[in-house]
Amino acid sequence: MSVVIVVGAQWGDEGKGKVVDLFTERADVVVRYGGGANAGHTLVIEGKKLVTHLVPSGVLHPGKACVLGDGMVIDPHALLDEIAECQARGLLQQNELLIGLGAHVILPYHKLVDGLREDHGAKRGRAIGTTRRGIGPAYEMKAARRGIRVRDLLRPERLAALVASNLDDLAPVIQHLGGTAPSAQEIQGWITDALTAGEKLRKYTGDAGRHVDNAIKRGQHVLFEGAQGCLLDLDHGTYPYVTSSSTIAAGACQSAGIGPTMIDAVVGITKAYATRVGEGPFPTELHGEAGDKLRIAGGEFGATTGRPRRCGWLDLPALRMGVRLSGMKSLALTKLDVLCGMPEIQVCVAYKLDGKELDEPPTDPEDLARATPIYARQPGWGALPSDARDVSDLPAPARAYVETIERMAGVPFCLISVGPDRTETIRLHDPFV
Ligand code: IMP
């Protein structure tokens, strides 16, 4: 058996969906471990797109258990829509889904507060650029021990009391932020809708932690699917421009309630370049035409919000930090094909700050914003063979680029993606042993 964590090595949107889908061929159980509908995994199967926000990307493999861990924050209405969409595509027909009863719930007022805070912050130059999916407010309530969990959706009286108490706390906040405090009728509507959603979800709910632990003890292959990326981690990312959960590999253990000794491998996913959505420092960002070109070539528009992603050169100090934070033992490289046709590729190998060279991003956000990237320049390549099955099938400049990343990140690649389809992949090493 083996237990593998797949984690984004950058600021999210690394193409984890495709990699998780490929690794799921060997997995018995796939567990989503953090965040909520802020994530968007775009899956392309035989040319058709499916975007999942909450359901693990492993959903494309009928019969494999798909678990939503207790560390998640789940919008029950968004989840029901997604289940319906998957079922309409012939997926999730075999009772594959298990939603942790301990996961927290996002209700309309969490989203309302998220949006109001962003608007309020934007006027004062303090916006985070969140996805406005209610993620921050739901995790805040959880930490304040006033959160609502999936189990509460199944207890009408408890749910009504919790919602009332939440809104007692939040009504003044909503008003302070320029919103209108919800009416009693509106609140009742939210409770009724949440209870209806809870009833529809009831059959999928259970003890996710025990289920995962039992699967590991039975010797099954378990795959943990990270959302977002290491640099958006609440504790270790580019705070405050981060999400509100533990996106690093340790978050998998915390969410599922299993110990770190259970984990056999951590695979990081990195794109061949860098992107970031929302605010926050991004030293290798390309502005103007160069950034636009990369955005269009890579289709870099948010799968959740449709926002254009900020694009730039690959940042190796940031990648090294991701490798360290998650203890990655190998990497998967995605979207190498997007760089095809560029006359020259640049890659940030270090930063310069106050006359010193740094091999990892400075931890203070103002220092990071001031740091200057030091670039290495490499020749580009024309096209990649979509049937490449080994690094030796790549043109020499692409091979050199791959080798530079490997050398400077300090860990080998286990997979290189040369196109969006499942088949367009160089598979070097299987993380499941
Ligand atoms: P939140 O998670 O919606 O609170 O957003 C906080 C920050 O994380 C914002 O900069 C978002 O753009 C970013 N973020 C959240 N989820 C994702 C994701 O799945 N991909 C990329 N960025 C994300």
CATH number at residue 140: 1.10.300.10
> 26 with 70, same domain?
yes
166 lines ligand 1 (CB under 6 A): no
> 240 with 157, same domain?
no
Percent of the chain predicted with pLDDT > 70: 99
277 lines ligand 1 (CB under 6 A): yes
In a domain, 24, yes or no: yes
The pLDDT value given to residue 352:
97
The pLDDT value given to residue 325:
98
Of 203, 222, 255, which closes a domain? 203
Are 99 and 72 within 8 A, CB to CB?
A: no
In a domain, 433, yes or no: no
Query: What is the crossing angle of helices 108-123 and 156-176, to 10°?
Result: 10
Are 316 and 348 within 8 A, CB to CB?
A: yes
> 313 with 193, same domain?
no
> 245 with 382, same domain?
yes
The pLDDT value given to residue 183:
96
In a domain, 432, yes or no: no
CATH number at residue 272: 3.40.440.10
Task: State the sign of the Cα–Cα–Cα–Cα dihedral 328, 330, 335, 340.
Answer: positive
Model pTM score: 0.95
When pLDDT is cut at 50, 70 and 90, the band that residue 221 belongs to is: very high
Ligand 1 center to 13 CA (angstroms): 9
Give the tens place of pLDDT for each residue, 376-415. Answer: 999 999 999 989 999 999 999 999 999 999 999 999 999 9
Of 148, 176, 203, which closes a domain? 203
Report the residue among 131, 231, 238, 310 best suited for mutation to probe ligand 1: largest number of ligand atoms under 8 A from its CB.
131
When pLDDT is cut at 50, 70 and 90, the band that residue 75 belongs to is: very high
In a domain, 67, yes or no: yes
3-state secondary structure 355-396: CEEECCCCCCHHHHHHCEEEEEEEECCCCCCCCCCCHHHCCH
> 170 with 31, same domain?
no
> 191 with 218, same domain?
no
Give the tens place of pLDDT for each residue, 21-43. Answer: 899 999 999 999 999 999 988 77
Q: Range of 305's domain?
A: 3-95+208-427
What's the domain count of the chain? Answer: 2
> 278 with 377, same domain?
yes
> 164 with 138, same domain?
yes
Averaged pLDDT, 129-139: 97
Are 9 and 230 within 8 A, CB to CB?
A: yes
> 212 with 265, same domain?
yes
When pLDDT is cut at 50, 70 and 90, the band that residue 45 belongs to is: low
The pLDDT value given to residue 313:
98
Q: DSSP labels for 271-329?
A: ESSEEE-SSS--TTBPPHHHHHHHHHHHT-B-TTT-PBPEEE-EEHHHHHHHHHHHT-S
The pLDDT value given to residue 403:
97
The pLDDT value given to residue 319:
98
The pLDDT value given to residue 136:
98
